[in-house]
Amino acid sequence: MFDFLIHGFDVALSPLNLGLALLGALLGTLFGALPGIGPINGIAILMPLAYTLGLPAESALILLAAIYTGAEYGGRMSSILLNVPGDAGAVMTTLDGHPLAKKGLAGPALGLSAVSSFVGATIAIIGLTLFAPLLAEVAVMFGPAEFFALMVFAFASMSVMMGKDPVKTAIGAVLGVLIGTVGVDSSTGVLRYTFGLPELYDGIDFVVMIIGLFAISEILLMLEHANRKDGNDGLPPLGRVFISLKEVMACKWTMGRSGLIGFIIGILPGTGASVAGAVAYTTEKRLSDKDNSFGTGNMRGLAAPEAANNASAAGSFVPMLTLGIPGSGTTAVLLGALMLYNITPGPMMFSERPEVAGGLIASLYIGNIVLLALNLPLAGVFARVLTIPRWVLVPGIAILAFVGVFQLHSNLAAIYLMLIIGVFGYLLRKLGFSLAPVILGYVLGGLMEQNLRRALSISGGDLGILWQSGISLGLWIAALALLLLPWLLPKLWQAKTSKA
């Protein structure tokens, strides 16, 4: 395991990869600081540029992963200073972060959130280092039936854990699966949902899908709100950003517990930072809120979601690298980036492409230290990003989106398709749908279909193979238990209260 990590540091510390990790950390913090942009949009915009520049697979992944972790750091700034979450994972940060800023403690709040993010991410990266190679060894034993059952578990986990409405989450995932079926069926040669358009014979390209669904829909939302007051005309004074050792030690157990909670939740497919932050905050409130000060500017209430968010981001790499299952919407985009390089994420990647897996894990250690070093002294500089007007921001995002797609495809059909998908994503967001389940369904649907066909081919069409082994049967039972969870818990709670 340590030989694997040493090889990873050898890759990550090369001048090119070290420079890309620094660049990604800086850009990620900027993307995270801007409300509504977040890690998915940042990665979606820069992924085609990284590919067309001819970067090696490990270098491109290091850059994009640094943007992901940097955006988790940056998302706290608008939450604390403006009470506007930078992304879904930073919602819980507003509860105590903004009240602290109102009390004149904006600087210490930003400093504590940076330290909490560092501690949570460090716990998760160590967990990733220890458990990813071990899980990869177990996953080698998976056959098509086990992988199909794993996909079912991923969809069940996503439906229950992601978003406020499980029904809308499930519908979004199904829409993603349907979009993934467009094109020529690779097994039978049948045209599926192409409507006679030759441009759709190869299916909907991943980059077109990602940029349209996230970047273009975000531009449309920004244009819709263009006449509204941004609320960023004046930022509260930061004061000191560096916090004392006493303030850090007062939150040490909070950061440790929340980091562990975030890592465990991050491993579950389809959960993400928003779930981790909410669970960590409510857990810490039960344990530490003796004076009912949570929600009024409690340092522990700020430290808990920040540690959990960043731990969840690092933890979501575990299923992606070892099983080929994205742990969050952002890792689904990173999964697509690997597919651009014809790399299949999964257990064999650790032996076939150790420079990619090892370099990524080692770069997370480096990027985490860099992010702490950037976010403590430069918090005031990053905060000024919040004052960028929309008339500058919207054209900038649009230019990067159009250039990225055109560089890859060099035809207007891809641009038109991107715009159509963007309008579709905009309508979904207006109807209250989360876009992360759509992209997860798009990524997992094809893998699910392939493994189902392989399993049925092995068994001669016998469906019993899908739950024949102990592993697949356990995954089916776990998926069923997850789906029943939202209905069972309220009934158990009612039974408990009625007895009381």
Question: What pLDDT, on a 0 to 100 scale, did the predictor assign at position 496?
Answer: 45
For the segment 124-137, the average pLDDT, to the nearest whole number, is 84
Q: Tens digit of pLDDT for each residue in 279-338?
A: 888 888 888 777 778 877 888 888 888 898 889 888 888 888 888 887 777 888 888 888
Using CA atoms, how far apart are residues 96 and 242, in angstroms rounded to an integer? Answer: 18
Q: How many CA atoms lie within 13 A of 117 on its CB side?
A: 34
Give the chain's end-to-end CA distance (angstroms, integer). 52
Within 8 A by CB and 6+ apart from 423, the residues are 216, 217, 220
Torsional class of 183: left (φ above 0), alpha (ψ -120 to 50), beta (otherwise): left
For the segment 11-38, the average pLDDT, to the nearest whole number, is 85
Structure tokens at 413: 């059909």
Strands 191-192 and 183-184: antiparallel
329 found inside a domain: yes
Phi, psi of 118 (to 5 degrees): -65, -45
Given a cut of 60, is residue 228 above it in pLDDT?
no
Phi, psi of 424 (to 5 degrees): -60, -45
422 found inside a domain: yes
For the segment 70-84, the average pLDDT, to the nearest whole number, is 79
For the beta carbon of residue 467, count every other beta carbon within 10 angstroms: 17
Q: What is the mean pLDDT of the chain?
A: 81
Q: How would residue 104 be classed by pLDDT, with cut points 50, 70 and 90?
A: confident
Question: What pLDDT, on a 0 to 100 scale, did the predictor assign at position 491?
Answer: 54
Whether the CB-CB separation of 420 and 197 falls below 8 Å is answered with: no
Q: How would residue 458 be classed by pLDDT, with cut points 50, 70 and 90?
A: confident
Work out the percent of the chain whose per-residue pLDDT is above 90. 6
Report the number of distinct structural domains present in the chain.
1
Longest dimension (CA), the chain: 70
Whether the CB-CB separation of 36 and 61 falls below 8 Å is answered with: no
Provide, for the chain, the percentages of residues in helix, strand and coil under a 3-state DSSP scheme, each rounded to the nearest 5: 75, 0, 25
Phi, psi of 184 (to 5 degrees): -80, 130
For the segment 90-96, the average pLDDT, to the nearest whole number, is 80
Q: Which amino acid is at 260?
A: L
Structure tokens at 1: 């395991």
Q: How would residue 237 be classed by pLDDT, with cut points 50, 70 and 90?
A: low
Question: What pLDDT, on a 0 to 100 scale, did the predictor assign at position 328?
Answer: 75
Question: What pLDDT, on a 0 to 100 scale, did the predictor assign at position 493?
Answer: 45
Given a cut of 60, is residue 495 above it in pLDDT?
no
Using CA atoms, how far apart are residues 433 and 344, in angstroms rounded to an integer? Answer: 29
416 found inside a domain: yes
For the segment 187-200, the average pLDDT, to the nearest whole number, is 84
Question: What pLDDT, on a 0 to 100 scale, did the predictor assign at position 102?
Answer: 81
Whether the CB-CB separation of 418 and 217 falls below 8 Å is answered with: no
Whether the CB-CB separation of 416 and 208 falls below 8 Å is answered with: no
Does the predicted TM-score (pTM) go above 0.85?
no
Structure tokens at 181: 């079926």
Q: Looking at 32-46, 63-77, 191-205, which range is the least confident one? A: 32-46
Q: Which of 153-167, 233-247, 470-484 has the highest mean pLDDT?
A: 470-484
Question: What pLDDT, on a 0 to 100 scale, did the predictor assign at position 276?
Answer: 80
Q: What DSSP state is assigned to residue 189? A: -
Whether the CB-CB separation of 308 and 297 falls below 8 Å is answered with: no
Question: What pLDDT, on a 0 to 100 scale, did the predictor assign at position 472?
Answer: 85
Strand partners, 184: 191
Q: Looking at 121-135, 229-243, 357-371, which range is the least confident one? A: 229-243
Within 8 A by CB and 6+ apart from 24, the residues are 62, 63, 64, 65, 66, 67, 70, 367
230 found inside a domain: no
Within 8 A by CB and 6+ apart from 372, the residues are 114, 115, 117, 118
Question: What pLDDT, on a 0 to 100 scale, did the predictor assign at position 424?
Answer: 93
Helices (H) and strands (E) in the chain, counts: 23, 2
- CA torsion, points 325, 201, 170, 163, in degrees to nearest 10? 70
Q: Tens digit of pLDDT for each residue in 362-419?
A: 888 998 998 888 877 777 777 777 677 777 778 887 887 888 788 777 788 889 999 9
Q: Which of 133-147, 181-195, 217-231, 234-248 has the highest mean pLDDT?
A: 181-195
Structural domain boundaries enclosing 269? 3-225+235-499
Q: How would residue 123 be classed by pLDDT, with cut points 50, 70 and 90?
A: very high
149 found inside a domain: yes
